[in-house]
Structure 1
Amino acid sequence: MLKLFRVSMALSRKAGLWVGLILMWLGVNLAPAWAASPGDGAVLFETYCAGCHPKGGNIIRRRKTLKLKSLQRDGYDTLAPVINLITQGQNNMPGFADQLNDTQIETVAQFVLEQASNNWK
């Protein structure tokens, strides 16, 4: 009986170790963007926006970039309209209200405006 108990404990430790390693791997490699802190505008932008807007550009509509001159021309050079655009989308750009919460949307909007002010450097 004691031998069976020891074998059982050894298997439990190994199983616990594997479960822990798997959970750690998932946490590192599959960390969802919603887990990003409010200061992680760059992470959120990279996850949700950079596919179409690399370095503030626009691969779909070249004239609709995230560069300061373009944002000013189109009336997106303040926080409120950028938040609205990210939330609801417009034309070819989808809205992200289903994927991002209000804080994350505001964080991305602030990041975009900051980067535009710094010429996306």
Structure 2
Amino acid sequence: MLEPDCEENILRIFLLVFVLAIAILKLIFIPPALAAEASIGAKIFNNNCASCHIGGGNILISEKTLHKEALSKYLENYAEDAIPAIIHQVQYGKNAMPPFKDKLTEQEILEVAAYVFQKSEQGW
């Protein structure tokens, strides 16, 4: 039989190894896409944009998606500087898209623009 102090130390080591194993498994099995989905930009997008642009699409004008090819075609200056082009679109809107400059802060607009750019580069 082990001494009580020895049993406590073994239990502590076991718990430490168990917690570390769970942390390592989370790192291995949680895909990076899920981490991006939890970003601030993703939350802003989901709260303000996803109703029309779910999955990078466009429920109103099917060809004007948030996919890289469509953004390159429909956003002025996208090829030269993508994020400022997306920021401009979010701030001022166009056609059916409303402006968000009075609804979102500058930081929120930057976050959602970076998110849209990242997702468009990844193919949504």
With the shorter chain as reference, the TM-score category is 0.5 to 0.7
Q: Match of 1:91, as an amino acid?
A: N
TM-score by length of 2: 0.63
Task: Tell me the alpha carbon deviations over residues 29-71 of structure 1, each in whole angstroms, 9 at most, x when there is no partner.
Answer: xxxxxxxxxx500000000000000000000000100001111
Any stretches of 5+ residues in structure 1 without a counterpart? 1-38
Work out the CA distance in 2 between the residues paired with 1:112 and 1:58: 13
Work out the CA distance in 2 between the residues paired with 1:66 and 1:103: 20
Match of 1:117 in 2: 121
Work out the CA distance in 1 between the residues paired with 2:86 and 2:72: 11
2:83 is aligned, of 79, 85, 92, to: 79
Work out the CA distance in 2 between the residues paired with 1:86 and 1:71: 12
Task: Tell me the alpha carbon deviations over residues 54-111 of structure 1, each in whole angstroms, 9 at most, x when there is no partner.
Answer: 0000000001000011111223450111101100110110001111000100110000
What's the % identity of the aligned pairs? 35
Q: Which has the higher helix share?
A: 2
RMSD of aligned Cα (Å): 1.1
Task: Tell me the alpha carbon deviations over residues 12-45 of structure 1, each in whole angstroms, 9 at most, x when there is no partner.
Answer: xxxxxxxxxxxxxxxxxxxxxxxxxxx5000000
| Equivalences for residues 37-116 of structure 1 within 5 A | 39-75=39-75, 76=78, 78-116=82-120
Q: How many residues align?
A: 82
Work out the CA distance in 1 between the residues paired with 2:98 and 2:74: 17
Any stretches of 5+ residues in structure 2 without a counterpart? 1-38
Work out the CA distance in 2 between the residues paired with 1:52 and 1:111: 16
Work out the CA distance in 1 between the residues paired with 2:95 and 2:103: 18
User: What secondary structure does 2:52 align onto?
Assistant: coil
